[in-house]
Structure 1
Amino acid sequence: MIVDPSSPQPLACDAMCANVRSMEALNRDCHCVAVAPEAMHEALALAVGAHGLPSTFTDSHQNLFAALPVYVSREHLAELDRVVAAVHATVVLPDYQAAVLAWAPEIAQFDPGTPGGMLGLDFHITPDGPRLIEINTNPGGALLNALVGQALHSCMPDIVTSPTDMEEAEEHVLQVMRQEWMHQAGSRPLVSVAIVDEAPATQYLYPEFLLFRELFMRHGIDATICDPAELERRHGRLWVHGKAVDMIYNRLTDFPLAASTHETIRASYLAGEVVVTPHPRAHALYADKRNLALLGDREFLSRAGATLDVIDTLTSAVPTTTLVTIENRDELWRQRRRLFFKPAAGFGSKASYRGDKLTRRVWEDIGVSAYIAQELVPPSERHTRGDNGPLKSDIRVYAYQGQPLLYAARLYQGQTTNFRTPGGGFAPVLTSTE
């Protein structure tokens, strides 16, 4: 990936920042400009402009990149890594799989033989350590954050550094895709990939689709960005624009592929004609939010055969999570101010509510859907020089098969993460050099 070499160098580091060793103090007091959002827009336009980036990109994505990094201690990063490994160790347990597949859609019973792609594990950093808020199977932002990392010029190189080599991050992402292919197809060459989403050019993260296409093509893999309606199934293969498709990089939020418009993908996937990543089974095993009720349940984990270290790691990191049922609705309503309510198959914070913001009307709507009630865990804060108060932050770990690939932060204001906050958006994660 090409990053504009003309991106401006950072401002001189404040003397106070240079002498601070606490990551928490840096998040509170250090406002050295490590990333210029304007330069990031220019770098992204340069990287994908030849592949159809709309000219209105800068206007429509003003808050895609944050202006400040987020500092995370090495101790907290080590805890994040332990949680990532513990989740993977639990998900492979037969008793865990049986439990979560019991409430999953029928298609999740089909095992295509692939792990299911890259995960995004989202954390809030609290005074007592990181808390795992949710897990996503089609997490956006990996290549965008790799771009940020490559463009980052730290103003404190002797004090902080990136916890991962961002020059290698996109190679790690590509290797995930190759591993997904090899798990199902063996040594057969991967020739073509379709990057699929509904009306992809209208999606907010469409620029990242272009980055993925550029990455695939740069490594000799034909890549097409398309809507599901552009796919057709014939002669035992899936086709797009007259080309056979080997693998689908799935960015759809219809996780069980249940919509009629996705029947072509569903049929080809179940017939083993195409590798789909992430796939419905992966979402059922990792990302259904009801699973958090089991991942944080010491008694269940013990019965399922998890090791004591895994049990201790998960029960410390996963906030208390409860399935909303007819029997407990009244009690959850009374306790709502300390709870956060999320749909089981939700994504992007859609239809998620802080309990203290709930109205009776919304509460009645929740009663007809599968929801969880999660202990409210306030996010940490990243202070700015602005007059609108500090920004909230969460940390996303992109991971595969229990191994972290890269770390990123999201800065925002409001009830949930978004890309509408001035000064907010994707932010690089930095940690101490010692």
Structure 2
Amino acid sequence: MKNKKSCSTDCNSAADLLNRTCFCKTLKREELLASLQAQSLPVEVLQHFEQLFSHTAVFISPVQWRQLQLLVQTVMRVTALPAYQQAVLSRAPAIAHKASPVSGVFMGFDFHLNEDGPHIIEINTNAGGAFLNAILLSAQTACCNAAGDFPQLLQPQVEAEFVAMFRREWQLARGDQILRCIALVDENPSAQFLYPEFLLAQSVFERAGIKTLIVDPRELDVVDGKLCYQQQVIDLVYNRLTDFSLTQPGNSVLRYAYENNLIVLTPNPYHHALYADKRNLALLSDETKLNELGVSNEDINTLLVGIPRTQLISADNAEHLWQERKQLFFKPAAGYGSKATYRGDKITKRVWDEILQGDYVAQRQIPPSERGILVDEQEVALKMDVRAYVYNSDIQLLAARLYQGQTTNFRTQGGGFAPVFVAE
């Protein structure tokens, strides 16, 4: 019988071997197109989907799958501690101090994987792509006889779970009242890169009997104590804004409605402050601070292995971090979508001066693993990360993003979203 260490190594090696040497095209594009057409999406939206999806799948080992689950559960357990919440909310804007009865939909845990297991690169509270990846599951073919049981999920099953999640959010805040109308809110939504996903979400919710609007926050109004869009009363707002504290003038009506409990907002500023502020990673990867918060030794060990050491940048450590920059990645505390992030070996002195003037963290680099893929029948290695969509500590869905360049993007030929399978 193999010992635990060798079993772990062999299992991880099998998944890694598949990622490097399996060049199967698992995506059945005609079936995907048929699924999309069934949603009655506009032709121009269907054309946009080509750049969103890769034609291959990604593999992880059973050990990595268990490590992913453990890391997510540990983070959620630690962030629920009163001492942790007091620490992070003390530096958060006032609006984030409003405690939320809801859990927050579509938390996204982004991982890089290596021989030591998965590592959390960042946590997001309005992670995009869940509905897209649900429909992607409907158009996959078996690959190398290597796919295990997860995530062998049917698209309707995943979508039903998403709908149940939103109904649960509503019940947590409003009890037995009926959820009649959801508004998916983002700035100029039809111009957003993931606008096709908004349309998919709208289709899913409306098939479940929930009227669904896609709205710019500037189009909202408060009438007789209710948030409305063109006289339609809104019950719940699915928040896709990147103005996480609702400070921009265009979001003032939504902010008023949230502060006065006129609507259920998910995710909301409280969730962002608790989970997605990049400064939290510095706390979650600091052994001394975790001990001070009363975190158990077992949870501390899990976090130190699974979260790259992250530091707040200050005048005190700036010179040291500059010297160590080639091993670091620099991110704005309130960043999203890889905007204004810099790999340390690529930054100039000018950029460094800008970083020092901003609110940045420095994170130890964990290079992404790679997925072999055929592009124009040529073998190419793309970088990859893995995203876990999480609700209430449970992973609902895994997806990978394949790309070239410094950070994830959807401009790489052959890249895009890919389903994740456990390699037996």
Q: TM-score, normalised on structure 2?
A: 0.93
Cα distance in 2 for residues equivalent to 1:237 and 1:405: 32
CA distance in 1, matches of 2:243, 2:289: 29
C-alpha distance in 1 between matches for 2:275 and 2:371: 29
Looking at structure 1, the residues matched to 380 and 23 of structure 2 have their Cα atoms a distance apart, in angstroms, of: 13
Give the superposition deviation at 1:54.
3.9
1:273 counterpart residue number? 262
Tell me the distance in 2 between the aligned counterparts of 1:58 and 1:173: 22
Counterpart of 1:32 in structure 2 is 24
C-alpha displacement at 1:61, in angstroms?
4.2
The worse-fitting range, judged by mean Cα deviation, of 259-268 and 356-365 is 356-365
Q: Contact conserved, 2:374 with 2:414, CA < 8 A, in 1?
A: no
- Which position in structure 1 is the counterpart of 2:8? none
Equivalent in 253, 262, 270 of residue 242 of structure 2 = 253
Equivalence for 1:340: 329
Whether the 8 Å CA contact 1:37–1:65 is kept in 2: the answer is: no
1:375-398 C-alpha deviation (Å, 9 max, x unpaired): 010000001234473100000000
Q: CA deviation at 1:306?
A: 2.1
In 2, the alpha carbon distance for the partners of 1:402 and 1:212 equals 22
Question: Match for 1:418 among 406, 409, 417?
Answer: 409
* Cα RMSD for the two superposed structures: 1.7
Q: Which amino acid aligns with 1:113?
A: P
Residue 105 (structure 2) pairs with residue 117 (structure 1) = yes
1:223: how far off? Answer: 0.5
Match of 2:381 in 1: 390
Cα deviation code 1:187-207 (max 9, x no counterpart): 111111100011111111111
Structure 1 equivalent of residue 58 of structure 2: 70
Please give the alpha-carbon distance, in whole angstroms, between the structure 2 residues aligned to 1:131 and 1:96: 21
Give the AA of the match of 1:409.
A
Select the residue among 272, 282, 292 that pairs with 1:293: 282
Q: Is the 8 A contact 2:22 2:144 kept in 1?
A: no
Corresponding letter in the other structure for 1:225: I
Contact 1:195 1:248 (C-alpha < 8 Å) held by counterparts: yes
- The alpha-carbon distance between structure 1 residues 422 and 30, as it changes in their structure 2 partners (threshold 3 A), is same
Which residue of structure 1 aligns with residue 362 of structure 2?
A: 373
Question: Cα deviation per residue 1:349-395 (whole Å; 9 max; x = unaligned)?
Answer: 00000011101121111122110000010000001234473100000
Amino acid at match of 2:74: A
Moved segments of 4+, more than 6 Å:
none
Letter in structure 2 aligned against 1:22: A
3-state SS in 1 of match to 2:77 = helix
Gaps of 5+ in 2: 1-11
2:84 paired residue number:
96
State the partner residue of 1:11: none
1:285-322 deviation digits (Å, cap 9, x = unpaired): 00001000111122222222222222121111000000
Task: Please state how far the C-alpha of 1:118 moved relative to its aligned partner.
Answer: 2.2
Deviations 1:45-90 (A, max 9, x none): 3143x2xx44333544432001110010010010000011001101
The answer for the alignment partner of 1:5 in structure 2 is: none
2:304 partner letter: T
Seen in structure 2, the aligned counterparts of structure 1 residues 232 and 114 have a Cα distance that, compared at 3 Å, is same
Q: Is this contact kept in 2: 1:83–1:317, CA < 8 A?
A: yes
Letter in 1 for 2:86: A
Amino acid at match of 1:75: V
State the distance in 1 between where 2:53 and 2:149 align: 19
| 2:217 aligned to which of 222, 228, 232 | 228
After the TM superposition, which residues 135-214 of structure 1 pair with which residues of structure 2 at under 5 Å, given as runs?
Answer: 135-157=123-145, 160-163=148-151, 165-167=153-155, 168-214=157-203
Q: 1:164 to 1:80 in 2, by over 3 A?
A: farther
Cα distance in 2 for residues equivalent to 1:378 and 1:158: 25
Report the Cα distance in structure 2 between the residues aligned to 1:420 and 1:38, rounded to whole angstroms.
22
Structure 2 counterpart of 1:362: 351
Percent of counterpart pairs with the same letter? 44
Whole-angstrom CA distance in 2 between matches of 1:385 and 1:195? 37
Amino acid at match of 1:25: L
CA contact (8 A) 2:338 2:407 kept: yes
CA displacement 1:235-261 (0-9 Å, x = unmatched) = 111001211000000000000001011
2:88 alignment partner, SS class: helix
What is the SS of the residue equivalent to 2:340?
A: coil
Structure-2 change in CA distance of 1:377 and 1:78 (3 Å): same
What is the match of residue 395 of structure 2? 404
Which secondary structure state, in structure 2, belongs to the residue aligned with residue 214 of structure 1? helix
* Contact in 2 for aligned 1:380/1:393 (Cα 8 Å): yes
Structure 2 Cα separation of the partners of residues 105 and 164 of structure 1: 42
| 2:206 paired residue number | 217
Bigger CA drift: 159-168 or 365-374?
Answer: 159-168
How many equivalent residue pairs? 410
For 1:163, give the aligned amino acid.
Answer: P
CA contact (8 A) 2:85 2:274 kept: yes
Q: State the SS of the aligned residue for 1:255.
A: coil
Question: What residue number does 1:81 align with?
Answer: 69
Report what 1:56 is aligned to.
44
Q: 2: distance between equivalents of 1:228 and 1:159?
A: 43
Distance 1:109 1:100 in 2: 10
1:180–1:394 Cα change, 3 Å: same
* 8 Å Cα contact 1:341/1:373 also seen in 2: yes
Check conservation: 2:29, 2:139, Cα contact below 8 A.
no
Provide the secondary structure at the position in 1 that maps to 2:43: coil
Name the CA distance, whole Å, in 1 between partners of 2:271 and 2:124. 10
* Cα distance change, pair 260–195 in 1 and its aligned pair in 2 (3 A): same
1:325 corresponds to: 314
Aligned-partner Cα distance in 2 for 1:214–1:159: 30
Residue number in structure 1 paired with 2:3: none
Distance 1:366 1:38, change over 3 A: farther
